[in-house]
Amino acid sequence: MKKILLLCLGAAVLLSACVKKKDTITGDAHVRFVNAVPNSIAQDVYVNSALMNSSLFFGAATSYNTYTAGVNLLGFTNTGATVANLAYSYASAIGDYATVYLFRDFTGTLVSGGIRDDLTAPPAGKARVRFVNLHNHLDNALKMSVTGGADLFTYLVFGTASPYYDVAPGTTFAPFAIGVTAEPVIDLNLQAGKTYTIWLYGNANTEIYSNSFIQH
């Protein structure tokens, strides 16, 4: 399996086995959750065995949750179930804002990891975008261009995030990877003053699709 660069990947265990918080640091951290598993059952999200978010369906992103920074135990179950599909220890620093993604690796195993978010506002008159490659059927790195224009990046591997880019409102994007035949233009009707995260996925190595949320 290729190395996944997202933080804090874990293996599935019983949620009931993770009832104790392992560490505590005084101060808050902030985390939101994204279900990036195509065709998945809606998920309930637990922090230290307490329900944090319920019925997180594929493509959905929660708002930021605030909890005590340090090492916290995250768990994902099918909505209404009590046994975790995945549970692991996740570390946050005081003041962190991060997005935790639930997705699958190249073997189809359920994994999760977090990426810190930058909440700095974009320049006046601009929108800000970032891309995350969660396409577990695609061995080749992703390339992203402004439609009809310059490349933003040419080599984004699985499990990594691009830098942030400041672009004009309404900008659209063209994804590309070798061997892909279905790669719709990404058009989010970008608005000035907003920051977007766009994550890429697919059900086969011949397609690239996108989903997104407004980060800030």
What is the domain extent for residue 179? Answer: 127-214
Query: Do 69 and 39 share a structural domain?
Result: yes
Query: Do 76 and 48 share a structural domain?
Result: yes
Dihedral sign, Cα of residue 134, residue 22, residue 93, residue 121: positive
Q: Residue 63 burial (CB < 10 Å; 0-12/13-18/19+)?
A: exposed
Query: How many alpha carbons fall within 13 Å on the CB side of residue 189?
Result: 0
Count of the separate structural domains present in the chain:
2
C-alpha to C-alpha distance for 60 and 166, rounded to whole angstroms:
24
For 57-102, the pLDDT digits (tens) are 999 999 999 999 999 999 999 999 989 999 999 999 999 999 999 9
Q: Would residue 100 count as lying in a domain? A: yes
The answer to whether residue 114 scores a pLDDT higher than 50 is: yes
Query: Do 72 and 131 share a structural domain?
Result: no
Query: Do 132 and 111 share a structural domain?
Result: no
The answer to whether residue 20 scores a pLDDT higher than 50 is: no
pLDDT value, residue 4: 38
